[in-house]
Amino acid sequence: MNPGPLLPELLPDALDGMTTAADADVTALTAQIADLTARLEEARAVLARLEHTRQAQEEISARHPVGARDPLGYAEILDLLTRTPDGIRPKEVCRARGLPEEHKTIEGIRAKLKRLAGRDLAHEPQPGLFVPNKVTDLQKTL
């Protein structure tokens, strides 16, 4: 925006105003750069932690086969869920896994199914009946 020619006596005041405005811009931009630099360093730190976590997970996975990592049988229960998309009951899981159909065993399986439901891998549409949330997602998990 050009206000027109300045009289020589007004030039110093105009320069002072422009200098003050430019100085304010530099100060504001410097503050923004400092804020963005701090945020960038935080994001880099998070990224480094995630990469270390991924590397540790890969090292652990390489040392321990899936069966050894799952002594409680969750993978087998998830497999049963994927093969029975209409749902499965704890007693049926016991039968399929060759476990005794005793009250404590059935209740243990029910607890595992409820934990899987708590992790959004399954849900319980009616009491005692568990179905997979998404068969394709469960198969990827296995």
Query: Comparing 123 with 142, which gets the higher pLDDT?
Result: 123
pLDDT tens for residues 24-33? 999 999 999 9
Q: How many CB atoms lie within 10 A of CB 141?
A: 13
The pLDDT of residue 22? 95
pLDDT tens for residues 100-139? 999 999 999 999 999 888 888 888 999 999 998 864 444 4
DSSP the chain: ----PPPTTTHHHHHHHHHHHHHHHHHHHHHHHHHHHHHHHHHHHHHHHHHHHHHHHHHHHHHS-HHHH-TT-HHHHHHHHHH-TT-B-HHHHHHHHT----HHHHHHHHHHHHHHHHTTSEEEEETTEEEES-HHHHHHH-
Q: Compute the distance between CA of residue 71 and CA of residue 99 in angstroms, rounded to an integer.
A: 14
Q: Kindly state the percentage of the chain with pLDDT values over 70.
A: 80
- Comparing CA positions, the residue from 120, 142, 115 lying closest to residue 133 is 120
Judged against a pLDDT cut of 80, whether residue 66 lies above it is answered with no
pLDDT tens for residues 79-107? 888 888 889 999 999 999 889 999 999 99
